[in-house]
Structure 1
Amino acid sequence: MSVEYKDYYKILGVSKTAEKDEISRAFKKLARKYHPDLNPNDAEAEKKFKEVNEAHEVLKDPEKRRMYDQLGPNWQQGQHFGGGAGGYQNMNFGGFQGGGDFSDFFETIFGGGGGFQGAGGFQGFGGQGGYANRPQRGRDVEASLTLTLEEAYHGGRKSITLSDAGGGSKALEVNIPAGVKDGARIRLSGQGDQGYAGGGAGDLYLKVNIAAHHRFTLDGVNVMLDLPLSPWEAALGTEATVPTLDGNVSLRIAAGTGSGRKLRLRGKGLGSASKKGDQFVRIKIVVPDSATDKQKELWEELAKEYESFTPRDF
């Protein structure tokens, strides 16, 4: 018999670090949605209701949840548990003794015939040593790593502290690759969950989240910057100092440059080597207030000089 692994966190729509209150709220919401009394002729809703109930049965109980998390989806290098009537027979998980309207997966782990020998540790499925006596690699873990745009561009060492579900914390030194992109994952070997029976630890994957910047915006690996110009700078041309993530540069603005035009600074974006992005400078013409009669008069004279100019073609 092959028993399919069930992701109870996914069923309830919560993260693996969800607190008990969040799990309870998610369960109540889904239980109301799929309750058979509200869906009397919907077999799929009844199935969902049973799955939600089963997921809550495990995740609400610290001991059940701990056992479930320790096994994980990859404990047998795959998504299915090998057959037999395994489980933790001699452990009374909050009064559950097997049976009930639960899946084969649940009964294989928390009920059934043979295996767990009290609180001392695993003896294995069927009491024959089984998988739990074999070295098992720890689970891979994923966490979020928020970086400033400057940190992502330059890279380098960064000290971080991660909190775990049990309330503990771990201090780590992370090497940030220069030019790392938003959404990229940084792998820290051996920093995931501990293995069992002499198995190696899993890996930690840090998913990069680049924080919003007060000056620049991101478009993939390209960096965008709005450059305000006065009307006369745009009309006559000028040389402007432009900030980049690599320091200020001087940019020549050609006469007659219109608002919205984009100028490219090659290699000033994120990424690396041949895949390195660029910085685009978007021209934004800013018109000053006409505070005096003289200023208004000059604008009126300019309008007369350009009487034949029509900026709109519709």
Structure 2
Amino acid sequence: MAARRDFYEALGVARSASRDEIQRAYRKLARQYHPDMNKEPAAEERFKEISEAYDVLSDPDARQRYDQFGPGFRQVAAGVDPQAWAARGRAGPGARPGAGARRGGGPGSGPDVWFDAGSADDIGLDDLLGGFFGGRGRRGWGPIAGADQEAELTLTVDEAYRGGRRRVSLDGRDLAVTIPAGVADGQRIRLAGQGGRGTDGAAPGDLYLVVRLAPHPRYRVDGRDITVDLPLTPWEAALGASVAIDTPGGETKVKVPAGTSSGRRLRLRGRGLPHPRGRPGDLYAEAKIMVPATPSDDERRLFEQLAAVSTFDPRRQR
């Protein structure tokens, strides 16, 4: 039988890892290897391995004993001195136990297991097996919490801006989702208890909906900032103007400075996507100078007059 992997190695964390780091590592691996999510033959055994590692390392007392006594910590009776235990291990498998200890098992039974003489008579086979398998040796693997799951939720820019209620059909289920105003692309909406089912009465996992913003014909979104084209006539760009513009929050006015060229970005602070716990994004109106595709006779005459008197040459501008 292959040696059991070190619990810290099983979760991919350092021995100094905090409880939060251990929990994050477990949740990530559980989503990857839970039998509901991964049908590979080895996934179930890997899931059992990381579940056992998490059970131990997330419990401060169990983790301390694991650090002191190693993988066989469950077989070490309470009150055993860690230093004496370590010294016995350094002495080799042929070393005799100190006074007041008894050996469990017999020749060929595997690693030495020692019990305090004062408590050995209270330990039966059921207790030993139960301890070896973490209290689950005779009942199967025991309750396993459901895995967290993820799915994508596509929203329009307007839905993300305003928030609201949305019905979502997923795996044959019809779910009511509350969309917070200002949710950004890539953010996750948590639906508690809507993930994978647990076993033996254990709690289900959570469902995380990853927000994806659908392309919009007018709005370009970068984080919480929104850019929209601002069509301008040549005279509005040259002389300046106050121009109405549509935004996800409704119509507003933007002041166009005189001498505005195409590509200039006019910033409207706080008019981008809202932020529930911080500063909202900004809206950028990008100037785009437009000319009539088929100018009238009067328009053509005026443009010709302008061309005759103007010394402006955009190709000489830096």
Question: TM-score, normalization: structure 2?
Answer: 0.59
Aligned mate of 2:44, from 60, 68, 71: 68
SS at match of 2:141: helix
Alignment match, 2:189: 186
The amino acid that maps onto 2:207 is L
Alignment match, 2:151: 143
Distance apart, 1:240 and its partner CA = 1.4
Aligned mate of 1:212, from 215, 221, 227: 215
Aligned mate of 2:162, from 154, 157, 160: 154
Aligned residues: 220
Distance apart, 1:190 and its partner CA = 0.9
Q: CA RMSD in A?
A: 3.6
Alignment match, 2:309: 305
Task: Kindly indicate whether the alpha-carbon contact (under 8 Å) linking 2:234 and 2:289 is maintained by their aligned counterparts in 1.
Answer: yes
Aligned pairs for 1:116-265 (under 5 A) are 128-129=137-138, 132-133=141-142, 135-163=143-171, 169-265=172-268
Q: Distance in 1 between matches of 2:169 and 2:312?
A: 65
Alignment match, 2:4: 2
Distance apart, 1:220 and its partner CA = 1.5
Task: Kindly indicate whether the alpha-carbon contact (under 8 Å) linking 1:246 and 1:268 is maintained by their aligned counterparts in 2.
Answer: yes
Structure 2 alignment gaps of length 5 or more = 12-28, 57-69, 73-132
Q: Distance in 2 between matches of 1:77 and 1:267?
A: 47
Residues 46-101 of structure 1: per-residue CA shift (max 9 Å, x gap): xxxxxxxxxxxx64xxxx59x83995785335499x989xxxxxxxxxxxxxxxxx
Find out whether 1:268 has 2:298 as its counterpart.
Answer: no
Distance 1:243 1:77, change over 3 A: farther
The amino acid that maps onto 2:252 is V
Task: Kindly indicate whether the alpha-carbon contact (under 8 Å) linking 1:243 and 1:249 is maintained by their aligned counterparts in 2.
Answer: yes
Residues 244-270 of structure 1: per-residue CA shift (max 9 Å, x gap): 111101222222222111111121212
Q: Distance in 2 between matches of 1:79 and 1:283?
A: 59
Find out whether 1:286 has 2:290 as its counterpart.
Answer: yes
SS at match of 2:51: coil
Distance apart, 1:159 and its partner CA = 1.0
Structure 1 alignment gaps of length 5 or more = 19-57, 85-123, 164-168
Distance apart, 1:298 and its partner CA = 2.7
Distance 1:76 1:222, change over 3 A: same
SS at match of 2:303: helix
Distance apart, 1:197 and its partner CA = 1.7
Distance apart, 1:162 and its partner CA = 0.5
Alignment match, 1:109: none
Q: Distance in 1 between matches of 2:186 and 2:207?
A: 15
Question: TM-score, normalization: structure 1?
Answer: 0.59
The amino acid that maps onto 1:144 is E
The amino acid that maps onto 1:132 is W
Distance apart, 1:172 and its partner CA = 0.8
The amino acid that maps onto 1:162 is L
Distance apart, 1:170 and its partner CA = 1.0
Identity score, percent = 39
Distance 1:308 1:282, change over 3 A: closer
Q: Distance in 2 between matches of 1:137 and 1:74?
A: 12
Q: Distance in 2 between matches of 1:149 and 1:290?
A: 34
The amino acid that maps onto 1:250 is K
Higher mean alpha-carbon deviation, 201-210 vs 231-240, is at: 231-240
Residues 8-53 of structure 1: per-residue CA shift (max 9 Å, x gap): x989xxxx879xxxxxxxxxxxxxxxxxxxxxxxxxxxxxxxxxxx
Residues 113-144 of structure 1: per-residue CA shift (max 9 Å, x gap): xxxxxxxxxxx89x9326612x2211111111
Aligned pairs for 1:8-47 (under 5 A) are none
Task: Kindly indicate whether the alpha-carbon contact (under 8 Å) linking 1:136 and 1:199 is maintained by their aligned counterparts in 2.
Answer: yes
Alignment match, 1:89: none
Task: Kindly indicate whether the alpha-carbon contact (under 8 Å) linking 2:270 and 2:279 is maintained by their aligned counterparts in 1.
Answer: no
Task: Kindly indicate whether the alpha-carbon contact (under 8 Å) linking 1:236 and 1:254 is maintained by their aligned counterparts in 2.
Answer: yes
SS at match of 2:305: helix
SS at match of 2:292: coil
Alignment match, 1:166: none
